[in-house]
Structure 1
Amino acid sequence: MTAKPSVSDTHSSTTSFENWWKIQGEWVEEPNDRRGGYSGVQRIYAEGKLLYAKRQTGHIHRSLLHPFGRPTVLREQEALVGARKAGVTVSEIVYCAAEQSTQGWRALLITKALEDFQPIDERYANNGREEYGEALHQQLLVEVAHTLARLHTARWQHGCIYIKHIFVRITGEGQTLTPEIALLDLEKCRRRLTSKQAALHDMLQLRRHSPWDQADWQSLIGHYQLAMGRTFKTLYKATRR
Protein backbone atom coordinates (compact mmCIF):
# COMPACT_ATOMS: atom_id res chain seq x y z
CA MET A 1 0.00 0.00 0.00
CA THR A 2 1.49 3.32 -1.07
CA ALA A 3 0.40 6.22 1.04
CA LYS A 4 -0.03 9.73 -0.28
CA PRO A 5 1.54 12.60 1.67
CA SER A 6 -0.17 13.18 4.99
CA VAL A 7 -2.78 15.93 5.06
CA SER A 8 -1.84 16.94 8.56
CA ASP A 9 1.11 15.64 10.51
CA THR A 10 2.77 17.31 13.47
CA HIS A 11 5.95 15.38 12.68
CA SER A 12 5.48 14.98 8.88
CA SER A 13 6.76 11.41 8.86
CA THR A 14 5.19 8.21 7.54
CA THR A 15 7.44 6.29 9.91
CA SER A 16 6.06 8.22 12.85
CA PHE A 17 2.52 7.45 11.74
CA GLU A 18 3.19 3.72 11.48
CA ASN A 19 4.92 3.66 14.87
CA TRP A 20 1.98 5.40 16.58
CA TRP A 21 -0.55 3.26 14.71
CA LYS A 22 1.04 0.05 16.03
CA ILE A 23 0.68 1.11 19.68
CA GLN A 24 -2.42 -0.55 21.09
CA GLY A 25 -4.23 -0.03 24.38
CA GLU A 26 -7.51 -0.40 26.20
CA TRP A 27 -10.58 0.92 24.44
CA VAL A 28 -12.21 3.69 26.47
CA GLU A 29 -14.55 4.56 23.60
CA GLU A 30 -15.38 1.49 21.55
CA PRO A 31 -15.08 1.99 17.78
CA ASN A 32 -18.32 3.11 16.19
CA ASP A 33 -19.13 2.53 12.53
CA ARG A 34 -20.35 5.70 10.86
CA ARG A 35 -19.28 8.42 8.44
CA GLY A 36 -18.02 5.71 6.08
CA GLY A 37 -15.64 4.08 8.56
CA TYR A 38 -14.90 3.61 12.23
CA SER A 39 -13.59 5.80 15.03
CA GLY A 40 -12.65 4.89 18.59
CA VAL A 41 -10.41 5.99 21.46
CA GLN A 42 -7.79 3.93 23.28
CA ARG A 43 -5.88 4.61 26.46
CA ILE A 44 -2.19 4.04 25.72
CA TYR A 45 1.16 4.50 27.41
CA ALA A 46 4.00 5.97 25.38
CA GLU A 47 6.99 8.18 26.05
CA GLY A 48 6.42 7.53 29.76
CA LYS A 49 3.00 9.21 29.71
CA LEU A 50 -0.65 8.27 29.78
CA LEU A 51 -2.08 9.27 26.42
CA TYR A 52 -5.34 8.93 24.52
CA ALA A 53 -5.32 7.78 20.91
CA LYS A 54 -8.29 8.47 18.65
CA ARG A 55 -7.93 5.95 15.83
CA GLN A 56 -9.93 6.24 12.62
CA THR A 57 -10.29 4.54 9.25
CA GLY A 58 -12.45 6.14 6.58
CA HIS A 59 -14.21 8.27 9.20
CA ILE A 60 -14.69 11.53 7.29
CA HIS A 61 -16.75 14.70 7.18
CA ARG A 62 -17.53 16.86 4.17
CA SER A 63 -17.77 20.63 3.90
CA LEU A 64 -17.54 23.38 1.30
CA LEU A 65 -13.78 23.48 1.84
CA HIS A 66 -13.51 19.70 1.73
CA PRO A 67 -16.24 18.41 -0.62
CA PHE A 68 -14.55 15.02 -1.02
CA GLY A 69 -14.20 14.58 2.71
CA ARG A 70 -11.38 14.40 5.23
CA PRO A 71 -10.93 12.61 8.59
CA THR A 72 -12.76 14.22 11.48
CA VAL A 73 -9.62 14.23 13.64
CA LEU A 74 -8.22 16.98 11.42
CA ARG A 75 -11.19 19.18 12.25
CA GLU A 76 -10.74 18.28 15.91
CA GLN A 77 -7.06 19.20 15.73
CA GLU A 78 -7.96 22.65 14.41
CA ALA A 79 -10.55 23.07 17.17
CA LEU A 80 -8.10 22.08 19.91
CA VAL A 81 -5.57 24.60 18.64
CA GLY A 82 -8.25 27.30 18.32
CA ALA A 83 -9.69 26.64 21.76
CA ARG A 84 -6.27 26.78 23.39
CA LYS A 85 -5.56 30.11 21.66
CA ALA A 86 -8.88 31.37 23.06
CA GLY A 87 -7.70 30.55 26.57
CA VAL A 88 -9.71 27.36 27.05
CA THR A 89 -8.11 24.37 28.75
CA VAL A 90 -8.25 21.36 26.42
CA SER A 91 -6.19 18.22 25.86
CA GLU A 92 -2.67 18.89 24.58
CA ILE A 93 -1.89 17.40 21.17
CA VAL A 94 1.08 15.04 21.05
CA TYR A 95 0.64 13.85 17.49
CA CYS A 96 -1.93 14.22 14.72
CA ALA A 97 -1.79 12.83 11.22
CA ALA A 98 -3.96 11.48 8.42
CA GLU A 99 -2.91 9.38 5.44
CA GLN A 100 -4.83 8.43 2.35
CA SER A 101 -4.15 5.41 0.17
CA THR A 102 -6.02 3.34 -2.39
CA GLN A 103 -7.73 1.65 0.54
CA GLY A 104 -8.96 4.92 2.02
CA TRP A 105 -8.11 7.13 4.98
CA ARG A 106 -6.34 6.31 8.22
CA ALA A 107 -6.06 8.97 10.89
CA LEU A 108 -4.68 9.40 14.39
CA LEU A 109 -5.02 12.02 17.09
CA ILE A 110 -2.83 11.47 20.16
CA THR A 111 -3.42 13.72 23.17
CA LYS A 112 -2.16 13.95 26.73
CA ALA A 113 -4.46 12.99 29.58
CA LEU A 114 -6.10 15.82 31.49
CA GLU A 115 -4.37 15.12 34.80
CA ASP A 116 -6.57 15.17 37.92
CA PHE A 117 -9.62 16.35 35.96
CA GLN A 118 -12.92 14.45 36.11
CA PRO A 119 -16.28 14.92 34.37
CA ILE A 120 -18.60 17.17 36.34
CA ASP A 121 -21.38 14.57 36.20
CA GLU A 122 -19.09 12.01 37.88
CA ARG A 123 -18.25 14.57 40.53
CA TYR A 124 -21.91 15.12 41.28
CA ALA A 125 -22.51 11.35 41.35
CA ASN A 126 -19.76 11.04 43.99
CA ASN A 127 -21.32 13.78 46.15
CA GLY A 128 -18.65 16.30 45.23
CA ARG A 129 -21.08 19.19 45.57
CA GLU A 130 -21.91 18.25 49.15
CA GLU A 131 -18.30 17.46 50.04
CA TYR A 132 -16.91 20.87 49.11
CA GLY A 133 -19.93 23.02 49.86
CA GLU A 134 -22.17 25.44 48.02
CA ALA A 135 -19.65 28.27 47.82
CA LEU A 136 -17.25 26.16 45.75
CA HIS A 137 -20.12 24.93 43.62
CA GLN A 138 -21.01 28.52 42.74
CA GLN A 139 -17.36 29.15 41.84
CA LEU A 140 -17.56 26.12 39.57
CA LEU A 141 -20.55 27.61 37.75
CA VAL A 142 -18.63 30.87 37.30
CA GLU A 143 -15.66 29.03 35.80
CA VAL A 144 -17.89 27.03 33.46
CA ALA A 145 -19.50 30.30 32.31
CA HIS A 146 -16.15 31.99 31.72
CA THR A 147 -14.72 28.98 29.88
CA LEU A 148 -17.64 28.77 27.48
CA ALA A 149 -17.64 32.54 26.99
CA ARG A 150 -13.98 32.43 25.93
CA LEU A 151 -14.75 29.66 23.45
CA HIS A 152 -17.77 31.45 21.99
CA THR A 153 -16.17 34.89 21.87
CA ALA A 154 -13.62 33.32 19.52
CA ARG A 155 -16.62 32.00 17.50
CA TRP A 156 -15.88 28.35 18.23
CA GLN A 157 -18.97 26.18 18.72
CA HIS A 158 -18.35 22.97 20.65
CA GLY A 159 -21.21 21.26 18.87
CA CYS A 160 -21.77 18.47 21.40
CA ILE A 161 -21.67 20.16 24.80
CA TYR A 162 -23.11 17.61 27.22
CA ILE A 163 -22.23 17.83 30.91
CA LYS A 164 -19.95 14.80 30.51
CA HIS A 165 -17.73 16.87 28.20
CA ILE A 166 -17.05 19.49 30.89
CA PHE A 167 -14.27 18.45 33.27
CA VAL A 168 -13.29 19.96 36.62
CA ARG A 169 -10.17 19.88 38.77
CA ILE A 170 -10.04 21.28 42.29
CA THR A 171 -6.74 22.89 43.29
CA GLY A 172 -5.52 24.55 46.45
CA GLU A 173 -6.09 23.75 50.11
CA GLY A 174 -8.40 24.71 52.93
CA GLN A 175 -10.13 28.02 52.25
CA THR A 176 -8.29 28.58 48.95
CA LEU A 177 -9.84 25.78 46.91
CA THR A 178 -10.35 26.74 43.26
CA PRO A 179 -12.18 24.87 40.48
CA GLU A 180 -10.50 24.67 37.07
CA ILE A 181 -12.53 23.78 33.98
CA ALA A 182 -11.51 21.91 30.83
CA LEU A 183 -13.49 20.86 27.74
CA LEU A 184 -13.28 17.48 26.06
CA ASP A 185 -14.44 15.85 22.82
CA LEU A 186 -14.16 18.68 20.31
CA GLU A 187 -14.69 16.43 17.28
CA LYS A 188 -17.83 18.32 16.24
CA CYS A 189 -16.41 21.73 17.12
CA ARG A 190 -16.40 24.29 14.32
CA ARG A 191 -16.01 28.00 13.72
CA ARG A 192 -19.22 29.99 13.28
CA LEU A 193 -19.74 33.30 11.51
CA THR A 194 -20.78 35.01 14.75
CA SER A 195 -20.26 34.44 18.46
CA LYS A 196 -24.06 34.54 18.90
CA GLN A 197 -24.51 31.50 16.67
CA ALA A 198 -21.93 29.55 18.67
CA ALA A 199 -23.40 30.74 21.97
CA LEU A 200 -27.03 29.90 21.34
CA HIS A 201 -26.34 26.47 19.87
CA ASP A 202 -24.07 25.34 22.70
CA MET A 203 -25.84 26.92 25.65
CA LEU A 204 -29.30 25.67 24.68
CA GLN A 205 -27.84 22.21 24.08
CA LEU A 206 -26.07 22.30 27.45
CA ARG A 207 -29.31 23.24 29.20
CA ARG A 208 -31.02 20.17 27.75
CA HIS A 209 -28.18 17.89 28.81
CA SER A 210 -27.17 19.12 32.26
CA PRO A 211 -28.28 18.30 35.82
CA TRP A 212 -28.51 21.92 36.96
CA ASP A 213 -31.79 23.18 38.35
CA GLN A 214 -33.28 26.52 37.38
CA ALA A 215 -31.43 28.42 40.12
CA ASP A 216 -28.06 27.01 39.05
CA TRP A 217 -28.85 27.72 35.41
CA GLN A 218 -29.83 31.33 36.11
CA SER A 219 -26.57 31.80 38.03
CA LEU A 220 -24.49 30.29 35.23
CA ILE A 221 -26.23 32.35 32.54
CA GLY A 222 -25.81 35.54 34.54
CA HIS A 223 -22.04 35.05 34.75
CA TYR A 224 -21.90 33.87 31.15
CA GLN A 225 -23.62 36.98 29.80
CA LEU A 226 -21.36 39.26 31.83
CA ALA A 227 -18.34 37.50 30.35
CA MET A 228 -19.81 37.73 26.85
CA GLY A 229 -20.74 41.38 27.34
CA ARG A 230 -24.24 40.88 25.98
CA THR A 231 -27.67 39.51 26.89
CA PHE A 232 -29.38 36.46 25.40
CA LYS A 233 -33.04 36.49 26.44
CA THR A 234 -33.54 33.02 24.97
CA LEU A 235 -31.13 31.53 27.48
CA TYR A 236 -32.97 32.87 30.50
CA LYS A 237 -36.16 31.23 29.25
CA ALA A 238 -34.49 27.89 28.59
CA THR A 239 -35.65 24.91 30.61
CA ARG A 240 -34.49 21.32 30.62
CA ARG A 241 -36.25 18.78 28.44
Structure 2
Amino acid sequence: MFRIEKIHVAPEWEQQLSVAGLLDVESLTTREFDWFERPNKRLGGWSGVSRLYLNPDAPKDEQVALFLKIQNNHCYRTIGNSFKKRLTFEREMDAFEALKDLGVLPELLLFAKWRTADGDVGSLIITKELRGFVELEDLLKTIRSTQSQSDTSIRKALRAVADATRAMHATGWAHFAYKPKHVFISTESEPEHQIRLIDFERARRPLSAKTFVTEDLSRFLRHSRFLSREQKLQFLLDYFQVESFDPKQQRLVDQLETDKSLRVGKALKAAVA
Protein backbone atom coordinates (compact mmCIF):
# COMPACT_ATOMS: atom_id res chain seq x y z
CA MET A 1 0.00 0.00 0.00
CA PHE A 2 1.26 3.47 -0.92
CA ARG A 3 0.31 6.14 1.59
CA ILE A 4 0.79 9.91 1.35
CA GLU A 5 1.74 11.17 4.80
CA LYS A 6 2.30 14.85 4.02
CA ILE A 7 1.55 17.02 1.01
CA HIS A 8 1.72 20.73 0.27
CA VAL A 9 0.58 22.12 -3.08
CA ALA A 10 0.89 25.79 -4.00
CA PRO A 11 -2.76 26.71 -4.78
CA GLU A 12 -1.86 28.87 -7.78
CA TRP A 13 -0.03 25.93 -9.39
CA GLU A 14 -2.39 23.09 -8.48
CA GLN A 15 -4.32 22.94 -11.77
CA GLN A 16 -1.20 23.05 -13.93
CA LEU A 17 0.53 20.43 -11.81
CA SER A 18 -2.52 18.19 -12.09
CA VAL A 19 -2.70 18.55 -15.88
CA ALA A 20 1.01 17.72 -16.10
CA GLY A 21 0.52 14.58 -14.00
CA LEU A 22 2.78 15.91 -11.27
CA LEU A 23 0.20 15.47 -8.50
CA ASP A 24 0.17 11.71 -9.07
CA VAL A 25 2.91 11.23 -6.51
CA GLU A 26 2.88 7.44 -6.62
CA SER A 27 3.56 7.41 -10.37
CA LEU A 28 6.44 9.84 -9.87
CA THR A 29 8.13 7.36 -7.55
CA THR A 30 8.43 4.84 -10.41
CA ARG A 31 9.13 7.30 -13.22
CA GLU A 32 12.40 7.18 -15.17
CA PHE A 33 14.01 10.61 -14.96
CA ASP A 34 16.69 12.37 -16.95
CA TRP A 35 18.88 13.31 -14.02
CA PHE A 36 20.17 16.85 -13.60
CA GLU A 37 22.08 15.54 -10.58
CA ARG A 38 22.38 11.77 -10.52
CA PRO A 39 21.15 10.06 -7.34
CA ASN A 40 23.48 10.42 -4.40
CA LYS A 41 23.50 7.14 -2.48
CA ARG A 42 24.16 7.78 1.19
CA LEU A 43 22.46 7.92 4.59
CA GLY A 44 20.91 4.52 3.91
CA GLY A 45 19.06 5.66 0.78
CA TRP A 46 19.36 7.93 -2.25
CA SER A 47 18.47 11.44 -3.39
CA GLY A 48 18.56 12.96 -6.89
CA VAL A 49 17.49 15.99 -8.93
CA SER A 50 15.72 16.14 -12.29
CA ARG A 51 14.92 19.14 -14.50
CA LEU A 52 11.58 18.90 -16.30
CA TYR A 53 8.91 21.06 -17.90
CA LEU A 54 5.44 21.80 -16.60
CA ASN A 55 4.16 22.32 -20.17
CA PRO A 56 6.61 20.57 -22.53
CA ASP A 57 4.30 20.90 -25.55
CA ALA A 58 4.16 24.70 -25.35
CA PRO A 59 6.36 26.93 -27.55
CA LYS A 60 9.88 26.93 -26.15
CA ASP A 61 9.75 30.52 -24.90
CA GLU A 62 6.54 29.72 -22.98
CA GLN A 63 7.71 26.52 -21.33
CA VAL A 64 7.95 26.56 -17.52
CA ALA A 65 11.03 24.69 -16.29
CA LEU A 66 10.94 22.99 -12.90
CA PHE A 67 13.37 21.20 -10.64
CA LEU A 68 12.16 18.01 -9.01
CA LYS A 69 14.15 16.65 -6.09
CA ILE A 70 13.21 13.13 -5.05
CA GLN A 71 14.58 10.82 -2.39
CA ASN A 72 14.01 7.42 -0.84
CA ASN A 73 15.09 6.40 2.68
CA HIS A 74 17.53 9.35 2.66
CA CYS A 75 17.33 10.06 6.38
CA TYR A 76 19.26 11.68 9.20
CA ARG A 77 19.14 11.46 12.98
CA THR A 78 19.85 14.18 15.55
CA ILE A 79 19.51 14.68 19.27
CA GLY A 80 16.77 17.22 18.51
CA ASN A 81 14.50 14.54 17.04
CA SER A 82 15.46 11.90 19.63
CA PHE A 83 17.64 10.12 17.04
CA LYS A 84 14.55 9.08 15.08
CA LYS A 85 14.98 8.78 11.32
CA ARG A 86 13.76 11.79 9.39
CA LEU A 87 13.99 12.55 5.66
CA THR A 88 16.42 15.32 4.78
CA PHE A 89 13.77 17.01 2.62
CA GLU A 90 11.60 17.36 5.74
CA ARG A 91 14.37 19.42 7.28
CA GLU A 92 14.57 21.45 4.07
CA MET A 93 10.83 22.12 4.35
CA ASP A 94 11.31 23.29 7.94
CA ALA A 95 13.77 25.85 6.60
CA PHE A 96 11.40 26.84 3.78
CA GLU A 97 8.69 27.54 6.35
CA ALA A 98 11.04 29.62 8.50
CA LEU A 99 12.44 31.64 5.58
CA LYS A 100 9.36 31.92 3.36
CA ASP A 101 8.77 35.63 4.02
CA LEU A 102 12.35 36.73 3.27
CA GLY A 103 12.12 36.50 -0.52
CA VAL A 104 15.34 34.46 -0.78
CA LEU A 105 13.91 31.06 -1.75
CA PRO A 106 12.95 29.46 -5.06
CA GLU A 107 9.20 29.29 -5.66
CA LEU A 108 7.85 26.10 -4.06
CA LEU A 109 5.17 24.26 -6.05
CA LEU A 110 4.90 20.90 -4.32
CA PHE A 111 6.17 18.89 -1.38
CA ALA A 112 5.07 15.34 -0.65
CA LYS A 113 6.11 12.59 1.73
CA TRP A 114 5.01 8.97 1.41
CA ARG A 115 5.43 5.52 2.89
CA THR A 116 5.15 2.17 1.11
CA ALA A 117 3.93 -1.22 2.30
CA ASP A 118 7.56 -2.36 2.39
CA GLY A 119 8.35 0.32 4.94
CA ASP A 120 10.26 2.56 2.54
CA VAL A 121 9.80 6.27 3.08
CA GLY A 122 10.37 8.99 0.52
CA SER A 123 9.67 12.58 -0.38
CA LEU A 124 9.91 15.05 -3.22
CA ILE A 125 10.14 18.80 -3.69
CA ILE A 126 9.24 20.66 -6.89
CA THR A 127 10.40 24.25 -7.35
CA LYS A 128 10.27 26.64 -10.26
CA GLU A 129 13.49 27.22 -12.18
CA LEU A 130 15.29 30.45 -11.29
CA ARG A 131 15.01 32.41 -14.52
CA GLY A 132 17.17 35.51 -14.64
CA PHE A 133 19.45 34.17 -11.90
CA VAL A 134 22.96 32.72 -12.15
CA GLU A 135 25.49 31.35 -9.70
CA LEU A 136 27.41 34.07 -7.89
CA GLU A 137 30.78 33.08 -9.36
CA ASP A 138 29.37 33.18 -12.90
CA LEU A 139 28.01 36.69 -12.41
CA LEU A 140 31.31 37.97 -11.05
CA LYS A 141 33.18 36.41 -13.99
CA THR A 142 30.85 38.24 -16.38
CA ILE A 143 31.34 41.52 -14.53
CA ARG A 144 35.12 41.17 -14.60
CA SER A 145 35.17 40.32 -18.31
CA THR A 146 32.79 43.07 -19.45
CA GLN A 147 33.52 46.01 -17.14
CA SER A 148 36.86 47.79 -17.04
CA GLN A 149 36.01 49.22 -13.61
CA SER A 150 34.38 46.18 -12.01
CA ASP A 151 35.02 46.81 -8.30
CA THR A 152 31.84 48.82 -7.70
CA SER A 153 29.60 46.26 -9.41
CA ILE A 154 31.23 43.37 -7.54
CA ARG A 155 30.84 45.21 -4.25
CA LYS A 156 27.14 45.75 -4.99
CA ALA A 157 26.62 42.06 -5.76
CA LEU A 158 28.47 40.89 -2.65
CA ARG A 159 26.56 43.33 -0.46
CA ALA A 160 23.31 41.78 -1.69
CA VAL A 161 24.61 38.32 -0.76
CA ALA A 162 25.72 39.57 2.67
CA ASP A 163 22.28 41.10 3.27
CA ALA A 164 20.49 37.87 2.30
CA THR A 165 22.83 35.80 4.48
CA ARG A 166 22.28 38.08 7.46
CA ALA A 167 18.50 37.95 6.92
CA MET A 168 18.60 34.14 6.89
CA HIS A 169 20.61 34.07 10.10
CA ALA A 170 18.29 36.60 11.74
CA THR A 171 15.55 33.96 11.64
CA GLY A 172 17.76 31.72 13.77
CA TRP A 173 18.56 29.34 10.92
CA ALA A 174 21.94 28.43 9.45
CA HIS A 175 22.45 26.63 6.13
CA PHE A 176 25.27 24.28 7.29
CA ALA A 177 26.38 23.60 3.69
CA TYR A 178 26.72 27.22 2.59
CA LYS A 179 28.83 27.43 -0.56
CA PRO A 180 28.80 29.87 -3.49
CA LYS A 181 27.06 27.23 -5.64
CA HIS A 182 24.06 27.52 -3.32
CA VAL A 183 23.78 31.28 -3.93
CA PHE A 184 21.99 32.47 -7.06
CA ILE A 185 21.93 36.15 -7.93
CA SER A 186 19.87 38.11 -10.42
CA THR A 187 21.64 39.38 -13.51
CA GLU A 188 19.52 42.52 -13.17
CA SER A 189 21.09 44.84 -10.60
CA GLU A 190 18.66 47.75 -10.52
CA PRO A 191 17.67 48.87 -8.04
CA GLU A 192 19.43 45.97 -6.28
CA HIS A 193 20.40 42.39 -7.03
CA GLN A 194 17.91 39.75 -5.89
CA ILE A 195 19.23 36.64 -4.14
CA ARG A 196 17.92 33.08 -4.06
CA LEU A 197 19.38 30.40 -1.80
CA ILE A 198 19.01 26.67 -2.47
CA ASP A 199 19.59 23.23 -0.92
CA PHE A 200 18.60 23.46 2.74
CA GLU A 201 18.77 19.73 3.48
CA ARG A 202 21.33 20.27 6.25
CA ALA A 203 19.88 23.52 7.59
CA ARG A 204 19.10 23.83 11.27
CA ARG A 205 18.94 26.23 14.18
CA PRO A 206 22.36 26.39 15.88
CA LEU A 207 22.62 26.70 19.63
CA SER A 208 25.29 29.41 19.47
CA ALA A 209 25.26 32.63 17.44
CA LYS A 210 28.96 32.05 16.80
CA THR A 211 27.99 29.08 14.63
CA PHE A 212 26.61 31.39 11.96
CA VAL A 213 30.19 32.55 11.36
CA THR A 214 32.11 29.34 12.06
CA GLU A 215 29.80 27.22 9.89
CA ASP A 216 28.12 29.32 7.20
CA LEU A 217 30.44 32.28 6.69
CA SER A 218 33.59 30.21 7.08
CA ARG A 219 32.44 27.64 4.52
CA PHE A 220 31.13 30.28 2.10
CA LEU A 221 34.34 32.30 2.13
CA ARG A 222 36.62 29.26 2.07
CA HIS A 223 34.96 28.12 -1.15
CA SER A 224 34.92 31.65 -2.62
CA ARG A 225 38.44 31.38 -3.98
CA PHE A 226 37.40 33.75 -6.77
CA LEU A 227 37.25 36.64 -4.25
CA SER A 228 40.20 38.71 -3.09
CA ARG A 229 41.04 38.97 0.58
CA GLU A 230 39.82 42.59 0.55
CA GLN A 231 36.51 41.53 -0.99
CA LYS A 232 36.06 38.84 1.64
CA LEU A 233 36.72 41.30 4.44
CA GLN A 234 34.31 43.80 2.90
CA PHE A 235 31.70 41.04 2.67
CA LEU A 236 32.08 40.49 6.41
CA LEU A 237 31.79 44.22 7.12
CA ASP A 238 28.58 44.31 5.08
CA TYR A 239 27.30 41.21 6.86
CA PHE A 240 27.88 42.80 10.27
CA GLN A 241 26.66 46.19 8.94
CA VAL A 242 29.70 48.03 10.28
CA GLU A 243 32.57 50.09 8.91
CA SER A 244 35.13 48.41 11.18
CA PHE A 245 35.09 45.28 13.31
CA ASP A 246 34.54 45.55 17.04
CA PRO A 247 36.70 43.31 19.29
CA LYS A 248 34.20 40.44 19.29
CA GLN A 249 33.81 40.54 15.52
CA GLN A 250 37.58 40.78 15.07
CA ARG A 251 38.03 37.56 17.06
CA LEU A 252 35.64 35.84 14.67
CA VAL A 253 37.55 37.27 11.70
CA ASP A 254 40.79 36.00 13.25
CA GLN A 255 39.25 32.55 13.49
CA LEU A 256 38.30 32.72 9.81
CA GLU A 257 41.93 33.61 9.13
CA THR A 258 43.05 30.54 11.07
CA ASP A 259 40.57 28.40 9.13
CA LYS A 260 42.10 29.73 5.89
CA SER A 261 38.70 31.05 4.84
CA LEU A 262 40.24 34.37 3.77
CA ARG A 263 42.79 32.75 1.49
CA VAL A 264 42.75 33.78 -2.19
CA GLY A 265 42.56 31.17 -4.95
CA LYS A 266 45.45 30.63 -7.36
CA ALA A 267 43.32 31.52 -10.39
CA LEU A 268 42.42 34.90 -8.93
CA LYS A 269 46.04 35.56 -7.94
CA ALA A 270 47.13 34.90 -11.51
CA ALA A 271 44.35 37.08 -12.92
CA VAL A 272 45.28 40.11 -10.86
CA ALA A 273 49.06 39.63 -11.04
What TM-score do the two structures reach when normalised by structure 1? 0.85
Name the larger-Rg structure: 2
**Which runs of 5 or more structure 2 residues have no equivalent in the other structure?**
10-22, 56-62, 264-273
SS of the residue aligned with 1:129?
helix
Deviation, structure 1 residue 177: 6.1
Aligned to 2:211: 197
Aligned to 1:216: 231
- Per-residue CA shift, 1:37-67, capped at 9, x if unaligned? 1101000112552110111111111123263
2:224 maps to 1:207: no
Give distance in 1, aligned partners of 2:49 and 2:199. Answer: 11
SS of the residue aligned with 2:138?
helix
Deviation, structure 1 residue 16: 3.4
**Which runs of 5 or more structure 1 residues have no equivalent in the other structure?**
none
Equivalent pair of 2:67/2:129 in contact (CA under 8 Å): yes
Give distance in 2, aligned partners of 1:131 and 1:198. Answer: 34
Within a 5 Å distance, the mapping from 1:65-144 to structure 2 comes to 65=81, 67-85=83-101, 87-101=102-116, 102-125=118-141, 127-132=142-147, 133-144=150-161
Runs of 4+ in 1 over 4 A off after TM superposition: 22-25
Q: From the two aligned structures, give the one with the greater strand fraction.
A: 1
SS of the residue aligned with 1:89?
coil
Of 18, 21, 24 in structure 2, the residue corresponding to residue 16 of structure 1 is: 24
Equivalent pair of 2:39/2:47 in contact (CA under 8 Å): yes
Give distance in 2, aligned partners of 1:52 and 1:22. Answer: 17
Give distance in 1, aligned partners of 2:162 and 2:103. Answer: 12
Aligned to 1:3: 2
Give distance in 1, aligned partners of 2:145 and 2:47. Answer: 37
Aligned to 2:66: 51
Equivalent pair of 1:155/1:194 in contact (CA under 8 Å): no
SS of the residue aligned with 2:111?
strand
Aligned to 1:37: 45
Equivalent pair of 1:94/1:110 in contact (CA under 8 Å): yes
Deviation, structure 1 residue 97: 1.1
Of 186, 191, 196 in structure 2, the residue corresponding to residue 169 of structure 1 is: 186
Aligned to 2:17: none
- Per-residue CA shift, 1:10-29, capped at 9, x if unaligned? 14xxx632254466543111
SS of the residue aligned with 1:171?
coil
Q: 1:152 to 1:232 in 2, by over 3 A?
A: same
Give distance in 1, aligned partners of 2:29 and 2:125. Answer: 10
SS of the residue aligned with 1:99?
strand
2:246 maps to 1:226: no
Query: Which shifted more, 209-218 or 115-124?
Result: 115-124
Equivalent pair of 1:39/1:57 in contact (CA under 8 Å): yes
Give distance in 1, aligned partners of 2:132 and 2:238. Answer: 25
Equivalent pair of 1:80/1:91 in contact (CA under 8 Å): no
Give distance in 2, aligned partners of 1:17 and 1:129. Answer: 45
Give distance in 2, aligned partners of 1:148 and 1:208. Answer: 15
Aligned to 2:16: none
Aligned to 1:187: 201
SS of the residue aligned with 1:30?
strand
- Per-residue CA shift, 1:58-102, capped at 9, x if unaligned? 1111123263312111111111222223x1411121111111222
Q: 1:128 to 1:235 in 2, by over 3 A?
A: farther
Equivalent pair of 1:155/1:193 in contact (CA under 8 Å): no
Give distance in 2, aligned partners of 1:236 and 1:198. Answer: 12
RMSD: 2.6
Q: 1:95 to 1:199 in 2, by over 3 A?
A: same
